[in-house]
């Protein structure tokens, strides 16, 4: 069957209609002529427009047009290759011996590559196991060599619903796999419309069926193409992501229901690796009914997610009670219904209720005002936490709150914590800027729990700000101060290796640091950053008494060589200058936004990615 590309089909129809049109064919007495379009014999970028493809007995026939980076037709193409990974009862499969699916290039016996007109080619790719009824996926690439650049891999066609993940779910963490330094990133494919089709491109080699091996472990040319099936890459290789990534959180990668599973090996891969009991695995697998959702076999993280989504926390404005104490009321809701915090604590549903008082200035948290409190409960179920005195005085006082649902051996880490912040004692509204999206942490840290100490990944790490802020002056393993700089450093700065006893880099090093869109999906407004110092002993070997200007603190977390540092200092940035009295009221002199604000000549978006 011949399949025409939609755009080409439209051109064919338009051309047919044009045959009946009236009009001049040139000057009176002369035949009209159309000069041929320009052509080139080389390219730095090769663009492919698929015109049609046909599956026939023992071959695949492709028709396509190629242009260079300027849209000019290319002549002299000498290289092309194609693969067919066939859909079998075992799933997608392409055997190296050609018994299932197939592959071919211009050197394959019986192959031909012919230019039918300037820039247009026909490639005949012999594949013995292919016929007109073959389903699966078809991949093509052209070019390569000295003159014509190799094109992107193109998924010319694929059967619907052959994979249960998507480009979007993979690139929620990887953002742009093609631009990464990860192995085989250059194989990132596009579809016939030019849109990235990451999963299908990978599946051309990493099939559902792994490559066969003999008793000695040597690879054979039967089975699938690669020893690692795509599901093994997803389920097993990602377990090397060492901090709070849960392979059992199926919903992270499988956004839609999994209604077809081709092999029980998909389950065994994980269960064997995790040393999970597999005696009942076959019975469970066999009880799976086609059309139901396989994700439902893994429920624990879904339960945690539901707890977070179904509940909310209200934290009252700080007030003084009749004893002169500083108090805040914490209320827990499920939908519109207020729950009894005292009863939930007594029965073990809630493991922790806590609060801190903070200094607040210029829409920023600038220190810890008090940490020790007494708690009482009222008839409505709210908890009242009162602080008898302040450890440090600030012009404005707010409260942060935490309520943790009890999961796991240590709920401070394994539980689900809800966070809240109150308005100030004076009535000033809490409005601290939080420039990351709610799912920016949980996209990659998928286990549904806390990082530590009842501090949750949910809501973009909002709860972490209670301890990691402008004035708390945490060392954070000498990574970086505050919240934003610390997160930057822990992923891509010196903090990346700080949590490993042997100084090994963590998994974030495999992601592109410039892909800021992973967390900052709505971009960054440098002008909106409060012009206010951050206490910075994390940049000073753990020695307190110093402060750093805010934009500089964020940038230096990743760009920490001497050249970058000198540039920041020359533009008024300050690193580890002496902490002054009332430091949080003093403006800084850094002028970063003059050049680096979005839209400026050297705007941050020109060097970092803020769009997917």
DSSP 305-360: HHHHHHEEEEEPPPEE-TTS-EEEEEEEEETTEEP-HHHHHHTTSEEEEEEEEEEE
**Does residue 535 contact residue 582 with C-beta atoms inside 8 Å?**
no
Residues 517-574: pLDDT tens digits? 999 998 899 999 999 999 999 999 999 999 999 999 999 999 999 999 999 999 999 9
43 has pLDDT over 80: yes
List b or e across 325-342, with b for residues whose CB sees 16 or more CB atoms inside 10 angstroms: bbbbbbbbeeeeeebbbb
pLDDT tens-digit profile of 282-335? 666 666 656 677 777 776 778 898 999 999 999 999 999 999 999 999 999 999
Q: What is the pLDDT of residue 12?
A: 45
Kindly tell me if the per-residue pLDDT of 278 is higher than 50: yes
Tokens representing residue 208 in the block: 């559902």
Q: Residue 549: its pLDDT value, please?
A: 98
Out of 44-53, 274-283, 366-375, least confident range: 274-283
Q: What digits encode the pLDDT tens for the residues 328-365?
A: 999 999 999 999 999 999 999 999 999 999 999 999 99
- What radius of gyration do the chain's Cα atoms show? 30
| Per-residue confidence (pLDDT) for residue 31, from 0 to 100 | 63
Q: What is the pLDDT of residues 389-402, one digit of tens each?
A: 999 999 999 999 99
pLDDT at 79 over 80: yes
Kindly tell me if the per-residue pLDDT of 412 is higher than 60: yes
Query: How far is it, in rounded angstroms, from Cα 373 to Cα 326?
Result: 9
β-bridge mates for residue 102, sequence order:
84
pLDDT of residue 23: 47
Q: Is pLDDT at 65 greater than 80 in this prediction?
A: yes
What is the DSSP code (8-state) at residue 97? Answer: T
Alpha-carbon distance 418 to 401, whole Å? 8
**Environment class of residue 202 by beta-carbon count within 10 Å: exposed (0-12), middle (13-18) or buried (19+)?**
buried
Measured between alpha carbons, how far is residue 347 from residues 23, 292, 300, 344 in Å? Answer: 87, 35, 20, 5
pTM value is 0.81
Where along the chain do its domains lie? Answer: 39-204, 233-297, 299-467, 472-611
Between 445 and 383, residue with greater pLDDT: 383
Identify the weakest region by mean pLDDT among 250-264, 447-461, 532-546.
250-264
Is 90 exceeded by the pLDDT of residue 15? Answer: no
Sorted by sequence, the CB contacts under 8 Å of residue 567 that are 6+ apart come out as none
């Amino acid at each position: 069957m011949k399949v025409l590309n939609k755009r080409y089909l439209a051109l064919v129809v338009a051309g047919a209609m044009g045959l009946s049109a009236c009009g001049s064919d040139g000057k009176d007495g002369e035949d009209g002529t159309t000069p041929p379009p320009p052509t080139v014999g080389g390219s730095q970028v090769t663009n492919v427009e698929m015109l049609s493809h046909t599956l026939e007995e023992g071959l695949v026939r492709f028709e396509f047009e190629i242009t260079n980076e300027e849209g000019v037709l290319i002549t002299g193409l000498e290289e092309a290759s194609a693969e067919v990974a066939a859909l079998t009862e075992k799933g997608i499969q392409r055997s190296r011996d050609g018994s299932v699916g197939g592959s071919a290039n211009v050197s394959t016996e019986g192959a031909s590559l012919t230019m039918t007109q300037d820039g247009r080619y026909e490639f005949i790719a012999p594949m013995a196991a292919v016929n007109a009824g073959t389903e699966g996926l078809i991949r093509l690439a052209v070019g390569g060599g000295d003159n014509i650049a190799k094109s992107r891999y193109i998924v010319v066609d694929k059967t619907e619903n052959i994979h249960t993940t998507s480009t979007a779910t993979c690139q929620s963490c990887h953002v742009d796999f093609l631009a990464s330094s990860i192995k085989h990133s250059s194989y990132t494919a596009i579809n016939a419309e030019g849109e990235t089709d990451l999963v299908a491109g990978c599946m051309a080699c990493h099939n559902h069926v792994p490559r066969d091996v003999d008793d000695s472990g040597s690879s054979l040319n039967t089975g699938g193409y690669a020893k690692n099936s795509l599901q093994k890459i997803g389920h097993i290789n990602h377990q090397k992501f060492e901090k709070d990534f849960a392979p059992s959180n199926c919903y992270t990668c499988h956004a839609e229901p999994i209604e077809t599973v081709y092999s029980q090996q998909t389950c065994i891969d994980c269960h064997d690796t995790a040393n999970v009991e597999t005696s009942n695995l076959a019975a469970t697998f066999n009880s799976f009914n086609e059309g139901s959702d396989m994700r439902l076999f893994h429920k624990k993280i879904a339960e945690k997610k539901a707890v977070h989504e179904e509940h909310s926390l209200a934290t009252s404005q700080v007030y003084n009670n009749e004893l002169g104490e500083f108090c805040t009321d914490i209320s827990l809701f499920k939908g519109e219904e207020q729950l009894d915090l005292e009863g939930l604590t007594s029965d073990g549903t809630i493991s922790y209720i806590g609060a801190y008082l903070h200094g607040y200035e210029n829409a920023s948290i600038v220190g810890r005002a008090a940490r020790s409190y007494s708690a009482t409960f009222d008839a409505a179920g709210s908890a009242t936490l009162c602080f008898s005195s302040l450890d440090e005085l600030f012009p404005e006082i707010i409260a942060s709150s935490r309520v943790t649902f009890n999961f796991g051996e240590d709920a401070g880490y394994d539980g689900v914590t809800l966070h809240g912040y109150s308005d100030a004692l004076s009535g000033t509204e809490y409005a601290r800027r939080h420039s990351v999206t709610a799912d920016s942490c949980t996209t990659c840290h998928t286990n549904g729990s806390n990082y530590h100490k009842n501090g949750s990944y949910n809501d973009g790490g909002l709860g972490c700000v209670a301890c990691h802020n402008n004035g708390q002056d945490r060392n954070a393993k000498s990574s970086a101060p505050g919240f934003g700089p610390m997160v930057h450093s822990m992923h891509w700065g010196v903090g990346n290796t700080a949590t490993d006893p042997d100084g090994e880099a963590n998994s974030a090093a495999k992601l592109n640091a410039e892909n800021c869109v992973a967390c900052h999906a709505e971009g960054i407004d440098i002008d909106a950053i409060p012009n206010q110092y951050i206490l910075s002993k994390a940049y000073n070997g753990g020695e307190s008494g110093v402060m750093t200007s805010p934009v500089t603190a964020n940038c230096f977390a990743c760009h920490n060589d001497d050249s970058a540092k000198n540039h920041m200092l020359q533009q008024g940035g300050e690193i580890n200058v002496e902490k002054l009295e009332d430091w949080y009221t003093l403006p800084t002199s850094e002028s970063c936004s003059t050049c680096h604000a979005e839209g400026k000549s050297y705007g941050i978006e020109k060097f970092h990615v803020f769009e997917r």
